[in-house]
Amino acid sequence: MTEKDFTITKLGKCIRQSPIKYSRAHAQKDVRFIDDNLKILYNNSFSSVNDELNHPEKVLLEKAGPREHIYFDPEMVHAGIVTCGGLCPGLNDVIRSVVRSLWYLYGVRKISGITYGYKGFLPEYGYPAKELNPDVVDQIQETGGSILGTSRGGADIPRIVDALEKKKLNILFTIGGDGTQRGALAISEEAARRGLDISIIGIPKTIDNDISYVSKSFGFDTAVEKAVDAVRTAHTEAKSVHNGIGLVKIMGRESGFITAHTTLAISNVNFTLVPEVDFSLDGENGFLRKLEERLAEKNHAVILVAEGAGQKLMAESALKDESGNKKLEDIGLFLKEQITEYLLSRKVNFTMKYVDPGYMIRASVAASIDSIYCARLGAHAVHAAMSGRTAMLISQWNNAFVHIPISMAVSKRNLIDPDGSLWRDVLESTQQPDDMY
């Protein structure tokens, strides 16, 4: 188990007065400019407070926000923004916030968008950088996707740092998930090894909400909202016929948070299957038997399954994507086939509708609640970069925006605790057995 250490790396002393002009007339202390000594409790339960106060340098979190003194001279800053991995609602909102914060708050006039992920740094791909300013990003929050494009792979760290040197980039914002942030950490380490003053700031993008020490990732609320629409449709179809089954597959490679929250949001799901909780198909307590019992009692059923659930039930794939992630077998189609075969063998008449809204959700425009979150994430990322912090990402924790070392964020996956309150609430909502194994 990784020891908690939330110490933030800094490039040097902040000796320049921030160009941000805040009136002191009505300002409360630590609301406008943030004191470096202001910390947030990692765990706010009463039993943990004494332990945290005994080791404040390692277990208290640094509060995010603008500093009165900054490290970089804004006139000398060349900032870069890169988006990597799969699409997620809110990417353009974050890009917009970063550009506007750099431009209007700090007067930074040289901002480059690195196109098509980390591959945009590598000359053999020939992807040109995109000049960014407020006019370019003014309306991009109205569309889904990323105006910079995205890709997986391409994390050739030495050559990326070569490109940073050649382009004279001294700030890089990396918007991406676990693999992207691991790459960002490696970039910061290589830059430090070369003695380069480059700030690497991560903005966690993972629609599955699986990055540690991040309460909620941007795009998550939008994903739940869109998934609810899909489940509502499946439920209507299922109830409209005798023994109707609505089967909906939702994103979630290793973490079932979208699936769990969607279940609670709509409250008409009867079976929720997630990667963190194993289940079997066969036997008296297996999923198929319980589904048959549900149909006999209520004449319809709605099943919500995360894409990474039930992988042990299928032949494991040896294939990997460009990010090195194992390619998953399609649990949705597998369940559809297994349910069909089982119910036909039991001479149960039924009608099943299968819905997979994944790519529609990923490409959606961010909901308002996510747009607000993205705006604040982007601004806090800029404040952190201008104050010379590096190898860190912006997170929201205990209702505050904080700085988290990338090394801590990627040290483990954020997973549903099968013994925790979230899964308990899901079981209470679905009324499915605690154990289908």
CATH code assigned at 297: 3.40.50.460
Query: 169 and 137 in one domain?
Result: yes
- Average predicted confidence (pLDDT) for the chain: 93
Give pLDDT tens digits for 354-395: 999 998 999 999 999 999 999 999 999 999 999 999 999 999
How do residues 234-253 score in pLDDT, each as one tens digit? 999 999 999 999 999 999 99
* 4 falls within a domain: no
- Asked if 98 and 230 sit in the same domain, the reply is no
Residues 78 and 194 in one domain: yes
253 is in an annotated binding site: yes
Asked if residue 390 and residue 332 are part of one domain, the reply reads: no
- pLDDT for residue 228 is more than 50: yes
369 labeled part of a ligand binding site: no
The reply to whether 52 and 196 lie within a common domain is yes
**How far is the CA of 333 from the CAs of 163, 257, 291, 337, 341, in angstroms?**
43, 21, 17, 6, 12
* 252 known member of a binding site: yes
Q: Are 207 and 362 in contact (CB under 8 A)?
A: yes
- Are both 297 and 381 inside the same structural domain? no
In a domain, 302, yes or no: yes
* Nearest alpha-carbon partner for 198 in 174, 154, 165, 176: 165
CB distance 325 to 270 below 8 Å: no
Q: Taking residues 343-348, report their average pLDDT.
A: 98
233 is in an annotated binding site: no
* Crossing angle of the two packed helices 368-386 and 91-100, in degrees rounded to 10: 40
Per-residue pLDDT tens for 250-292? 999 999 999 999 999 999 999 999 999 999 999 999 999 999 9
**Residue 86 marked ligand-binding:** yes
Domain of 88: which CATH number? Answer: 3.40.50.450
Claim to verify: residue 199 and residue 329 sit in the same structural domain: no
User: Looking at the domain assignment, is residue 199 inside a domain?
Assistant: yes
Residues 306-323 pLDDT 10s: 999 999 999 876 666 666
Same domain assignment for residues 77 and 110: yes
Among this protein's residues, is 51 annotated catalytic?
no
- 435 domain residue, yes or no: no
In a domain, 1, yes or no: no
Residues 247 and 145 in one domain: no
pLDDT at 149: 97
For 65, 173, 244, 347, 362, the CA distances from 142, given in Å and listed in that order, are 26, 21, 37, 50, 15
Domain check: are 172 and 105 in the same one? yes
* 172 and 82 inside one domain: yes
Q: Confirm or deny that 80 is annotated as ligand binding.
A: no
pTM of this structure: 0.93
- Which of 73, 156, 208, 417 is flagged as catalytic? 208
Same domain? For 36 and 58 the reply is yes
Q: What pLDDT is recorded for position 327?
A: 82
Residue 181 in any domain: the answer is yes
In a domain, 257, yes or no: yes
- 436: annotated binding-site residue? no
Note the pLDDT tens digit of each residue in 23-79: 665 555 556 899 999 999 888 766 666 666 666 667 899 999 999 999 999 999 999
Range of the domain at 14: 9-21+30-217+366-409
Q: Would you say residue 238 lies in a domain?
A: yes
CA distance 167 to 159: 12
Q: How many domains does the chain have?
A: 2
